[in-house]
């Protein structure tokens, strides 16, 4: 009886595992160094199946679980630790505590297996030969590192054509520069350009072509970017000078008028200055006179009839006759009295 029960339980366990087949068509899809594992559900009538997906790094033997008990048929592994080496991915089915065996992928190299997306392309018409066009290439953004760091050598394939004639396509292959001047094209003609990234051996990885970008080629009358910037700079400079120069003149005129108002240059007449000095009303003006006035006077000799040889020398100093070049002063009465009774000696002496 016990033997029968053991055989029955073992049969049920084997039957349960056989009811959970592996996921089908497991594959790794990589775009710009990301990693997404996709699979198909097995042909079975079982419902509510869940999946677990793991990956193993190249340098270890341990698997890391990323998606657990998911009902989707894909697992995004996101940003892996490195773009170098080979990764291994595996998926299994789970149902009510039972699991299927692992469905594993072959070793996968991101550098060889990833799909490199299209670069960003811009076209610039340059001065020089008629019809010149420059192609500027910007590398696609990778999930891990950059394109130059992931690969030791990066090349580009360029193809271009007239927009009106798509059959006549010209190609430039294995270009290493990211700024490429196309050979002189037909002037005043619209050309379209596409670029793809190419990784040579040992990886031999060819990326996707970019969308077609079109531009009109230059003509004889086309102004280059440098000439356009120079002309714009000259116009701005002229406008700045035209506005700033009148403003500068206005500021200088205002400063000059203010200085003249605060410090006038009008001078008082000399006789008015002398009047103010004599009246002692403005001592400040007196201090501004550099040369003091000098008084002039004459000595007069008079002879009386009684003693004609007496000379009037002892005349008080304050009674001297002061001579002013601009003011007339009458002779004091003392001298008038002397003059009536005396004979003057006309010779006199200036002091």
Q: Which two tokens stand for residue 141?
A: 């953004």
Domain boundary among 205, 222, 239: 222
Residue 246 lies in a domain: no
Tell me what pLDDT residue 8 has. 45
Cut 0.95: pTM above it: no
188-216 in b/e form (b: 16+ CB < 10 A) is ebebbbbbbbbbeeebebebbbbeebebb
Q: What is the pLDDT of residues 136-192, one digit of tens each?
A: 999 999 998 899 999 999 999 999 999 988 888 999 999 999 999 988 788 888 999
- The reply to whether 128 and 83 lie within a common domain is no
Question: Does residue 102 form part of some domain?
Answer: yes
Alpha-carbon distance of 216 to 210, in angstroms, equals 19
Residue 126's contacts (CB-CB under 8 Å, 6 or more residues apart) are: 132, 133, 134, 181, 218, 224, 225
Query: What's the domain count of the chain?
Result: 3
**Alpha-carbon torsion, ordered 77, 81, 82, 87, to 10 deg:** -50
Residue 132 lies inside a defined structural domain of this protein: yes
Q: Which of 86-95, 103-112, 253-262 has the lowest mean pLDDT?
A: 253-262
Q: Which two tokens stand for residue 285?
A: 């003006």
**Would residue 271 count as lying in a domain?**
no
- 152 assigned to some structural domain: yes
Q: What are residue 206's DSSP bridge partners?
A: 198
Same-domain check for residues 20 and 90: yes
Are 105 and 147 contained in the same domain?
no
The pLDDT score that the predictor gives to residue 306 is: 54
Residue 143 is encoded by which pair of tokens?
A: 């999930």
Q: Tell me: do 7 and 106 sit in the same domain.
A: yes
Same domain, yes or no: 132 and 94? no
Q: Which residue range(s) make up the domain with 210?
A: 120-222
Q: Are residues 10 and 93 in the same domain?
A: yes
Tell me the CA distances in angstroms from 9 to 2, 3, 20, 154, 221, one per residue in order.
Answer: 11, 10, 17, 61, 92
**Same domain, residue pair 344 and 312:** yes
Domain boundary among 96, 113, 130: 113
Q: Which residues pair with 108 in a beta bridge?
A: 87
Q: What is the CATH number of the domain that holds 107?
A: 2.60.40.10
Residue at 12 is within a domain: yes
Express each pLDDT in 194-248 by its tens digit: 999 999 988 889 999 999 999 988 775 545 556 667 778 888 888 898 889 898 8
Q: What would the two tokens of residue 273 be?
A: 């200055």
Res 258: pLDDT: 80
Highest mean pLDDT among 101-115, 120-134, 306-320: 101-115
User: Can you spell out the DSSP letters for 200-266?
Assistant: -TTT-EE-PPPPPEEEEPP-TTPPPHHHHHHHHHHHHHHHHHHHHHHHHHHHHHHHHHHHHHHS---
Pairing of strands 98-99, 86-95: antiparallel
Are 9 and 102 in a shared domain? Answer: yes
- 126 shares its domain with 25: no
User: What is the four-CA torsion angle of 279, 282, 285, 286, rounded to 10 degrees?
Assistant: 50
| Residue 26 domain-assigned (yes or no) | yes
List Cβ neighbours of 46 (8 Å cut-off, separation of 6 or more). 19, 20, 95
Asked if residue 106 and residue 124 are part of one domain, the reply reads no
Higher pLDDT, 343 or 101: 101
What pLDDT shows up at residue 223?
Answer: 53
Let me know if residue 53 belongs to a domain: yes
């Amino acid at each position: 009886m016990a033997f029968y029960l053991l055989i029955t339980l073992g049969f049920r366990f084997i039957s349960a595992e056989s009811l959970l087949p592996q996921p089908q068509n497991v594959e790794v899809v990589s775009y710009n160094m990301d990693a997404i594992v996709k699979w198909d559900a097995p042909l079975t009538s079982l419902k509510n199946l869940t999946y677990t997906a793991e990956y193993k790094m190249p340098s270890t033997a341990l698997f890391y679980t990323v998606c657990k008990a998911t009902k989707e048929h894909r697992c995004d592994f996101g940003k892996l630790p490195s773009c170098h080496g080979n990764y291994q991915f595996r998926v299994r089915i789970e149902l009510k505590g039972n699991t299927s065996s692992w469905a594993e992928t072959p070793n996968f190299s991101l550098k060889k297996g990833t799909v490199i997306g299209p670069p960003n392309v811009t076209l610039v018409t340059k001065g020089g030969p008629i019809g010149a066009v420059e192609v500027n290439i910007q590398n696609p953004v990778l999930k891990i590192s950059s394109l130059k760091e992931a690969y030791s050598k990066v090349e580009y394939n360029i193809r271009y054509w007239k927009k009106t004639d798509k059959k006549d396509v010209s190609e430039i292959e294995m270009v290493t520069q990211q700024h490429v001047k196309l050979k002189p094209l037909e002037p005043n003609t619209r050309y379209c350009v596409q670029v793809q990234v190419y990784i040579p051996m040992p990886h031999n990885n060819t990326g996707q072509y970019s969308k077609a970008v079109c531009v009109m080629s230059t003509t004889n009358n086309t102004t280059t970017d440098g000439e356009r910037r120079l002309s714009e700079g000259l116009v701005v400079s002229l406008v700045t000078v035209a506005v700033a120069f009148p403003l500068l003149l206005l500021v200088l005129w205002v400063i000059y008028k203010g200085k003249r108002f605060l410090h006038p240059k009008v001078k008082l007449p000399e006789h008015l200055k002398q009047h103010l000095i004599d009246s002692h009303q403005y001592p400040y003006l007196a201090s501004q006179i550099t040369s003091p006035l000098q008084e002039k006077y004459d000595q007069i000799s008079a002879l009386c009839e009684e003693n004609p040889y007496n000379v009037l020398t002892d005349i008080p100093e304050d009674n001297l006759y002061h001579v002013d070049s601009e003011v007339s002063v009458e002779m004091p009465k003392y001298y008038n009295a002397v003059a009536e009774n005396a004979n003057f000696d006309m010779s006199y002496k200036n002091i």
